[in-house]
């Protein structure tokens, strides 16, 4: 049966309808266009198209499809979370646009169309575009299962139709049918199920979060080559659980790590979110970055699975280098034995691999390791210090050159909670 949702608002949304969209091959189909660009470590900025005036023929075609469309109740999208942080904190207008886009995203192969009725002029009112950008990015950060939307494999765009008695009728639709949707969604669901099955949730939320963090570090490798490829599945949870856009297994970048971590937390009913921002040695050296916040016992904490994983990966690489130096007599036996002792000490490796685990906002934003990672090698006679020293995690809204017109995540990151303290067992 057809699905009809009605959402009433004082400002703009009078109705939400789920429709169907004509094949991209038909004559006089709906035009569209949306582009993305990458910032630093892989935060993609949505650039919405100009709202397009639909022809009478296109509008009539949409009305026909509205009458014919059968809504698919058995969506492949799986997310049992009860709370979606960004959705709950964006403006009412942005939430209504979010609802329209999400309804379309549930069935992108069929290409159904959503209708938004508003008194805002979509050509000229900046409030409409601010809400659209906030809604689009809130949806991507809230729902990692929409990996194809985040990687730019398909976009949901607005096409302006007509104005009646001061009300603008705006159709939203999938710009191009995502033909691989069912195949990739089934692969994603199977991989996420497999990952989740390895997590023991019987020991409480802290242990669950710790296992998700550690298992993710074991599974994936940071995908440096994809940073130069533009839109890529490495920026998604699909890239972490399945593969990147050229078929390399478990090969994400920072937002892929973060979305994967968030998604498994959501599967287990633990509130988590993705933080868009900047990471580097200081405010001037680094690039776009993403990490997580997670709520335990009613308190939010910050964490960075990507950087924890990179510490362990770098440790393994450095150990191979040290072994080479020793083999070539460039390092004496005593120093080499100090490194062997430290690098094979499971407690020390565990400490290094959780350097960015469950911190306060203050701690992660201006991280200072101090003496935390000093290792007393050779019975305490020598000290070896490894791991991070100092760096920054800066939310997009706190960047000195933050511009919400250039980066919609500035608006969203301003809505984030503050983690008041480091986690203490």
Task: For residue 67, count CB atoms less than 10 angstroms from its CB and return exposed for 0-12, middle for 13-18, buried for 19 or more.
Answer: exposed
What residues contact residue 397 under an 8 Å CB cut-off, 6+ apart? 410, 411, 413, 414, 416
Check residues 4 and 86 and name the one with the higher pLDDT.
86
The three-class DSSP label of residue 368 is strand
Would you place residue 343 in the very low, low, confident or very high pLDDT band (cuts 50, 70, 90)? very high
Least confident of 128-142, 148-162, 257-271: 148-162
Helix axes 305-327, 205-219, angle to 10 degrees: 50
What residues contact residue 360 under an 8 Å CB cut-off, 6+ apart? 301, 302, 419, 420, 421, 422
- pLDDT tens-digit profile of 177-226? 788 889 999 999 999 999 999 999 999 999 999 999 999 999 999 999 88
374 CB-side CA count, 13 A: 8
> Is residue 68 over pLDDT 90?
no
pLDDT of the residue at 8: 22
Query: Residues 220, 252: contact at Cβ < 8 Å?
Result: yes
> Is residue 67 over pLDDT 70?
no
Least confident of 160-174, 227-241, 284-298: 160-174
Q: Tell me how far apart the alpha carbons of residues 235 and 148 are, in angstroms, rounded to a whole number.
A: 10
Among the listed residues 129, 155, 149, 166, the one whose alpha carbon sits nearest the alpha carbon of residue 51: 129
Q: How far is CA 266 from the centre of its chain?
A: 13
Torsion angle in degrees (nearest 10) through CA of 197, 200, 206, 212: -30
Q: Tell me how far apart the alpha carbons of residues 214 and 207 are, in angstroms, rounded to a whole number.
A: 10
Mean pLDDT computed over every residue of the chain: 84
> Is residue 25 over pLDDT 50?
no
**CATH number 3.10.620 is the correct assignment for the domain at 182-413:** yes
- pLDDT tens-digit profile of 358-401? 999 999 999 999 999 999 999 888 899 899 999 999 999 998 77
pLDDT of the residue at 150: 87
163: phi then psi, degrees, rounded to nearest 5: -120, 125
- Map out the domains of the chain as residue ranges: 4-179, 182-413
Query: Residues 81, 269: contact at Cβ < 8 Å?
Result: yes
pLDDT of the residue at 174: 84
5 CB-side CA count, 13 A: 15
């Amino acid at each position: 049966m057809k699905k009809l949702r009605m959402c009433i608002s004082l400002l703009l949304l009078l109705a939400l309808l789920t429709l169907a969209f004509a094949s991209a091959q038909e004559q006089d189909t709906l035009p569209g266009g949306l582009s993305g660009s990458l910032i630093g470590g892989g935060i993609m900025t949505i650039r919405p198209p100009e709202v397009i005036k639909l022809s009478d023929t296109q509008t009539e075609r949409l009305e026909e499809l509205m009458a014919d469309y059968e809504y698919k109740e058995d969506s492949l999208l799986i997310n049992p979370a009860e709370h979606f942080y960004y959705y709950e904190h964006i403006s009412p207008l942005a939430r209504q646009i979010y609802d329209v886009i999400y309804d379309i995203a549930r069935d992108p192969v069929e290409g159904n169309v959503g209708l938004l009725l508003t008194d805002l002029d979509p050509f000229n009112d900046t409030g409409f575009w601010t809400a659209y950008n906030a809604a689009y990015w809130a949806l991507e950060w809230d729902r990692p299962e929409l990996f194809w939307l985040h990687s730019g494999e398909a976009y949901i765009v607005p096409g302006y139709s007509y104005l009646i008695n001061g009300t603008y009728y705006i159709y939203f639709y999938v710009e191009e049918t995502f033909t691989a949707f069912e195949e990739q969604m089934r692969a994603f669901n199977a991989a996420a199920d497999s990952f989740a099955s390895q997590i023991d949730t019987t020991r409480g939320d802290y242990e669950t979060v710790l296992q998700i963090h550690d298992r993710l570090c074991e599974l994936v490798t940071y995908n440096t080559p994809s940073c130069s490829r533009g839109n890529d599945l490495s920026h998604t949870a699909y890239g972490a659980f399945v593969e990147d856009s050229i078929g390399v297994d478990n090969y994400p970048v920072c937002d892929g790590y973060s979305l994967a971590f968030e998604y498994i937390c959501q599967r287990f009913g633990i509130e988590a979110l993705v933080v868009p921002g900047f990471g580097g040695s200081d405010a001037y050296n680094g690039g776009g970055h993403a990490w997580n916040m997670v709520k335990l016992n009613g308190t939010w904490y910050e964490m960075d699975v990507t950087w924890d994983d990179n510490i362990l990966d770098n440790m393994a690489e450095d150990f191979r280098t040290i072994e080479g130096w020793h083999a070539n007599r460039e390092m004496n036996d005593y120093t080499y034995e100090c490194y062997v002792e430290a690098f094979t000490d499971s407690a020390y490796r565990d400490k290094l691999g959780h350097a960015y685990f469950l911190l306060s906002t203050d701690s992660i934003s201006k991280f200072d390791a101090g003496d935390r990672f000093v290792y007393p090698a050779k019975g305490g006679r020598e000290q070896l210090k490894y791991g991070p020293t100092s760096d920054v995690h800066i939310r997009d809204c706190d960047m000195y050159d933050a511009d919400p017109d250039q980066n919609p995540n500035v608006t969203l990151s301003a809505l984030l909670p503050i983690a008041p303290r480091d986690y203490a067992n």
